């Protein structure tokens, strides 16, 4: 990796992986700061090969690094995830489902060295940010995550226990009966309550799609990566809970948001 730099340019972020003095470094910036990031990279990339992936790879190649090589983004994500699994001492090559939660979401079936994208959804990190602006009037990712963690979604969502009260429900009472269904309480609920409700709805939706896709392909092991999970413990915890409830074995890779950038280097 010494002479290589990997760049994953997606819909919201540009992620960079490179090695310096024998140590692997990661850097990410909003796509709106792409020229600043790549201007810096041109200075430090002397005598290094550039490998690009992601939806904006062609733009970066034509405007900044004409000699760069473009790697298919789904292959790069899988190769990078496999690399991080090796670094974490996790078994590799098993039949599994890779879920990349970036601006949008892709589900990729991994079977040995075979990678096949089997599903996609637009309910990803871009949706989280957009709904954060609508519900909490904030465009700061860390702030929206903090609000999601502190809010009480029961002030917004109709829960199973709300329907069965005072009787004991036949399924866990904290499960959602209907998202955003307490219409009488929405106006008085806090931005944190609304964000907690939306994050939970996002986790439920991702888990539902994951469980159905995993069942179709007879898979139990699901691996989560993507920038939307970075520093987002509420989403990770919710996905972990719902996936295990669905009989799946979820794994969340450290530095998984850089899987594409790493995969572009080692492919």
Q: Which residues are catalytic?
A: 73
Whole-angstrom Cα distance, residue 230 to residue 145? 10
Whole-angstrom Cα distance, residue 122 to residue 135? 19
Burial environment of residue 246 by CB neighbours within 10 A (0 to 12, 13 to 18, 19 or more): middle
The residues, ordered by sequence, that sit 6+ positions from 30 with a Cβ below 8 Å of its Cβ are: 12, 13, 14
Place of tokens 């992936």: 53
Burial environment of residue 118 by CB neighbours within 10 A (0 to 12, 13 to 18, 19 or more): middle
Whole-angstrom Cα distance, residue 217 to residue 26? 33
Instruction: Supply 75's token pair.
Output: 């292959």
Whole-angstrom Cα distance, residue 127 to residue 122? 7
Tell me the three state secondary structure of residue 115.
Answer: strand
């Amino acid at each position: 990796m010494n002479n290589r730099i990997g760049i994953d340019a997606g819909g919201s972020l540009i992620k960079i992986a490179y090695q310096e003095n024998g140590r692997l470094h990661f850097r990410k910036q909003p796509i709106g700061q792409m020229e600043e990031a790549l201007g810096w990279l041109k200075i430090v990339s002397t005598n290094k090969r550039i490998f690009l992936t992601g939806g904006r790879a062609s733009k970066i190649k034509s405007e900044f690094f004409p000699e760069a090589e473009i790697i298919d983004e789904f292959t790069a994500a899988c190769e990078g995830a496999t690399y991080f699994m090796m670094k974490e001492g996790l078994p590799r090559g098993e039949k599994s489902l890779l879920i990349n939660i970036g601006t949008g979401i892709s589900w990729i079936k991994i079977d040995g060295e075979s990678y096949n994208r089997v599903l996609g959804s637009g309910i990803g990190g871009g949706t989280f940010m957009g709904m954060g602006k609508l519900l909490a009037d904030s465009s700061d990712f860390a702030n929206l995550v903090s609000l999601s963690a502190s809010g009480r979604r029961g002030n917004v969502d109709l829960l199973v226990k709300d329907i069965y009260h005072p009787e004991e429900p036949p399924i866990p009472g904290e499960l959602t009966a209907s998202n955003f269904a307490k219409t009488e309480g929405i106006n008085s609920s806090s931005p944190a309550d609304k964000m907690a409700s939306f994050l939970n709805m996002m986790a439920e939706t991702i888990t539902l799609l994951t469980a159905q896709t995993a069942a179709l392909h007879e898979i139990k092991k699901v691996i989560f990566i993507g920038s939307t999970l970075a520093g987002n413990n509420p989403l990770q915890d919710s996905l972990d809970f719902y996936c295990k409830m669905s009989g799946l074995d979820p794994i969340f890779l450290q530095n998984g948001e850089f899987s594409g950038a790493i995969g572009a280097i080692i492919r």
